[in-house]
Structure formats: C-alpha cells, structure tokens
Amino acid sequence: MVEPADPARVSAGADDKIAAILRAAVSWAAEAPPQLTPAIRAVCVRLAEMVADQRHYLAPLPEPQESERKAMLTEVADRLRTGPIARELKEHLDALAEMELRATGSWSLVATAQSEWVQTAIEFLQKKSLDVPAAQRPDEYWADDVVAGVIASVKGIIGADDLYSRIEAQYAGKGRPPVPRDDG
C-alpha cells in the first residue's frame, strides 16, 4: 500500500519550484526594459502552470516519490493559477489568456498546440514591447529568445525533460532503440 504524500514536504517542494520559476522569470527579464518584466513573468507563470498540469505524462517514478511529485506539481499548478502571484499578475495573465487558445491537457502531446502557444507568447511580449518608448525597445527577436529560454527553464525546473521520451514510448510502440554509449 502506498503511503500518502507528506503535506509538509509537498508544500515545501511546491514553494521551491515556484521560487525557482520566479527566479527564472527575473533572469529572463533582466535584459529587457523594466516595463516588460510583468509580461515576461506572466509568460513564465502561465507556461509553468501548463507544464505542471502535465504531471500525468511524465515518466513514472517509484512509489512513494511518484505520489509526492504528482501532489507537489498539482499544488504548483494550483498556486500559479489562483495564488498571490496570479493575483499580482492578473492584468497580464488576463491579456495573455485573451490571446491564447486555452491550452488543454493535450498541449504537450500535440505539436501544433505547442507551437501555437509559443507563437501566442511571442506575440504577447512583442505587443507589450510596443508600450515601451522606441529608443528603449528590445531588438526584433528578443521575444523569441525570451520565450525559448522560459520554455527550457520551466521544463527543467518542473522536471519535464523526460516528457517527450515518455510520449514517444507510449505512442510509438517501443520508442527509439537505446543509443549505445562508449563509456570507455
């Protein structure tokens, strides 16, 4: 029988993940004009919420770690969706939501949904940059770089690096054969 996840450990894990997500957002906003920081934070928070919601698609861990990870990622997604960060960024998250097609549980499985979200996030940041005086605006491709960086950071923080290998194994039979390593 699997023991229930320790609520204190789950909460502490969620705190750590959210703090790391917010640090990533600050890092990606560092080179942009300060007026764009809330918009970059909104993109980072929204993506982290969506990735945390994909907890069912991650490669399973042995119990009890799997139950604890699922509980922690559920808490992360819920806090990002409704917690103080969401309230602080409400205006920006609402503006982003107006632009995006509401992502469902399939966003990580359907390549077009992923690319549509990426494009929406880029357009959102580009639109926000128009509010910055022309002399202070970032270069033409800054939003592409920020969104790509946010995606890599968030997936690493959440632990979704193995997401695609799990999907491939699930939907492509046995998946790719292992690559022989030369550890010589």
Cα–Cα distance measured from residue 181 to residue 171, given in angstroms and rounded to the nearest whole number:
25
pLDDT, tens digit (0-9, with 9 covering 90-100), for 70-118 = 899 899 999 999 999 999 999 999 888 887 654 444 455 555 667 777 8
What is the band of 52 on the pLDDT scale with cuts at 50, 70, 90? confident
Q: Which residue has the tokens 């940041």?
A: 125
More confident residue, 5 or 171: 5
143 token code pair:
């939003």
Residue 49 and residue 134 in contact, taking contact as beta carbons nearer than 8 Å: no
Whether 54 has a pLDDT exceeding 80, the answer reads no
Residue 146 and residue 28 in contact, taking contact as beta carbons nearer than 8 Å: yes
Phi (first) and psi of residue 178, to 5 degrees? -65, 145
Cα–Cα distance measured from residue 112 to residue 117, given in angstroms and rounded to the nearest whole number:
9
pLDDT, tens digit (0-9, with 9 covering 90-100), for 57-71 = 677 778 888 888 889
